[in-house]
Amino acid sequence: MELRGDFKSYTEILDLLQIITMGKKSGEVNLRSDGESITIFFKDGKAIDFTSNVPPLQHLRERAATGEIPLEEAINFLLHHVSLWDRGKFLFLEKPVSYEGIGSADTLNVMMNFTKEEDELPEEVKKAIKENKKFTLSEEAELPITITQEGWKLLVSVCKGIPIWDALLRVGTSFSEDTNTLSILLKHKLIKEKEAEEGVETYKQKKEEGAPTTFVPQEKLERIRELLVETMGPMGEFLIEETLEEMELNQLPTDLVPRFIDTILDKIPDTCLIDGEKCRDRLKEQFGQILKGGSDEA
């Protein structure tokens, strides 16, 4: 059995998942929109695993695999991510699945919770998530305010400059509770929307106006990655993606290279030394040499 088509609303995806759940079907569902891809694996109507090319969703999957977050809640977050899409394509391939996966989620229960949460989500919170806004601490906070330990993790992530939806995927444990925390933070003015940084806004404006944009070639970024791993070990492997994600970019425009270098260097601890010299100082010079000149036309 194969089902494929386009969808303009998450309700159409819920209909598809209901067919799989009620029919106790096995196979995989692939959902795609604007370059983003999510694949959910089913066995006898229950979700057992998922993959994605979206970095925060990849992190979410790792958290589910280690037991940090239940698979049911991870699938719930996935559905909320799909609800942010304006349109997309789906493909369901029914086939035997011998793979045990990372758990077993009652998909019908997940869909019921998801629908309830979508209906009850405050408009201010929904807009913040939809636009993946960045926040910072506000001077106008109405104190005192009490938040949970999980809420504190969310607040810390937000203060680090991580966009709100990315932060929820990285540290959230319950969509319902986490969005309630976000609602409280906004209501008590503990956080405020962070002003857009000029470099990114200029790039976005140029893109909207159709002006030509040049990007740093991938091979240069790979040389940066090699240097980071050589200097810092495994923790340097994902710093490039993490930095681009914080800058809300998929590729690195050449006119944002200085800001990219400063941002990635800020992630390197002061304790990192090379022959008694701070890693930051050594790497800044090396990054500049690698990224100087050369580009790909957009």
**Pair (221, 265) in one structural domain:** yes
Q: What is the pLDDT of residues 58-74, one digit of tens each?
A: 999 999 999 999 999 99
Going by pLDDT thresholds of 50, 70 and 90, the confidence category of residue 248 is: confident
Average the pLDDT over 220-229 and give the result.
Answer: 89
Which of 116, 142, 171 is at the close of a domain? 116
Write down the pLDDT at residue 294. 44
**Pair (132, 102) in one structural domain:** no
Which of 70, 85, 116 is at the close of a domain? 116
Q: How many domains does the chain have?
A: 3
Helix (H) and strand (E) counts for the chain? 13, 11
**Pair (108, 8) in one structural domain:** yes
**Pair (6, 98) in one structural domain:** yes
Going by pLDDT thresholds of 50, 70 and 90, the confidence category of residue 253 is: confident
**Pair (109, 23) in one structural domain:** yes
The residue among 4 and 266 whose pLDDT is bigger is: 4
User: Which residues span the domain enclosing 245?
Assistant: 198-297
Write down the pLDDT at residue 182. 95
Write down the pLDDT at residue 62. 93
**Pair (6, 112) in one structural domain:** yes
Q: What is the pLDDT of residues 149-169, one digit of tens each?
A: 888 999 988 888 889 999 999
**Pair (10, 104) in one structural domain:** yes
Going by pLDDT thresholds of 50, 70 and 90, the confidence category of residue 297 is: very low
Which of 63, 98, 116 is at the close of a domain? 116
Q: What is the pLDDT of residues 114-141, one digit of tens each?
A: 999 999 999 999 999 999 999 998 888 8
Query: Mean pLDDT for the chain?
Result: 87
**Pair (97, 162) in one structural domain:** no
**Pair (202, 103) in one structural domain:** no
3 state SS for 12-69: HHHHHHHHHHHCCCCEEEEEEECCEEEEEEEECCEEEEEEECCHHHHHHHHHHHCCCC
**Pair (125, 104) in one structural domain:** no
**Pair (155, 223) in one structural domain:** no
**Pair (28, 111) in one structural domain:** yes
